[in-house]
Structure 1
Amino acid sequence: MKIDKSVERVQMFNEMWRLYRDYFWDPKMNGKNWEDARRKYIGFLSRVSNRTEFNEVASAMVAELGVGHTSMRSPIDFPDKQRGLGRLGGAFSDGDGDGVMVVEVYDGDIDLAEDRSPLSLANPPIVPRGPNYADQRRTRSQPKLF
């Protein structure tokens, strides 16, 4: 089967545009005329020759909404070797009002430094005392999770 990349890009663009139209948090699209944005940016697709360029055009259109935490990425942008996985590497429970208590440390692959839990690298170390219990040290402030 032969795939016409230019036709595929137009379909991807229209599907992305429709998903934002139907599911964006603000039904008024932050005051932006979303149909005008589609007409403006779809014209650039005839000059696009690869997925990275497509992503740039699509991201520019999404940027018109003025929301800084939206963007478009493809698997091509993150080959398997570069994909990161955020892991704090522990289990926590509410403390006694003084913060959060570490109850277990998950160390990851101890042979690969990049796969070690940040908690396992703490100084002084957090030392587990049995399978479901770790030292009672508490943080002095609530963690900020993003």
Structure 2
Amino acid sequence: MKQPPPGEPQATPAATPLPSASPAAEPKAKPTPKPVEITFDQIRQRLTLLPVGIDVRYQTISPDGKWALMIASVANQFNLYVYPLDELSKDPFVSKQLTSTAGFKGSAQFSPDSKEVYYLEQGRINIVPLENRQVRPLSVTAEMDVDFAREKIEVFRQAWTYLRDNFFDPKFNGANWDEVRSEYAPVAAGARTGDELRRIISEMLGELNASHLGISAPQANAPAPAIGRLGLRFDREDYETQGALRITEVIPLTPAAIGNVKSGEYLIAIDGAQVTTHANLDEMLAYKINRRVVLAIASSANGAQKREVVVRPISGNAERALLYRRWVNDNRSYVAKLSNGRLGYVHLADMSQGALTQLYLDL
């Protein structure tokens, strides 16, 4: 092939024309959804209250509109319930219980087909079908360990700083806020649990002598560890002077009471881990609700006459309920003694359905 002289432009082959593309099909326009029309005329007369018969704390409706899902408290225990909304349903119009465990339930929601319910309990995702109510875990398990030694310092700092920057009175109702920090910071650094830290911060807030100030625990459905409770109370002086947990009280009907643990005995170990001065019972009983736990109980702090007691810890709500019932029973006995049996005693804990039911039983 003959090459052109240098400097002359070289010919380029003609570009092969591309085949013409067929015109794309026009996308079909989405149908305009029909607007929802609400007839507000006499809407109050068409209001219907569902006779669910339980103390509901949360509710949602299934995607198909046939079920109301509720988280409700019965006998101081939170569980899931459903109530039929379909007027043509063959199911009886009563609340149907889906779960029966002690842990707090949260974030409950239906599956897209309305046949199953997903929910959180003790930091775990569970699934319960409406048909057979057989709870199964979702194969995703995660537990988060928080460095409480660092967390408590940061929580205290944020609480103090927030009030420094936002309190309505620049003179802090006469309190020297910097001195308050210097006084309470070392105490907060010595807190062993979240509850202790919140009590210390509450004391600090009290220095402001102002209303509507407080600090509370995270919401019950937050992914915090569920702490098992034994139903024991300990001698503070023995713990502070010797680092020993001498039992001063066993709450009736709690795991420790059922295990025949007695006042005056010592808690030496939990699941083989020694209870020392630096031990944190909340950490040792985290995620232990309704699980097998072995307690080492002794007649003295040095471990004399040690024996093992197998228990299944209960939730904090269950322990508080037993404490309340003991308090009611003590008051009832006291009134009966003073009145020679002529007066009765009842107590209404709150205005929930469970409390009203208990009041009827006590009457």
TM-score for the superposition, normalised by structure 1: 0.50
Q: Which has the larger radius of gyration?
A: 2
Q: Identify the structure with bigger relative contact order (alpha carbons < 8 Å, sequence gap 6+).
A: 1
| Alignment TM-score, normalising by the size of structure 2 | 0.21
Q: Which has the higher helix share?
A: 1
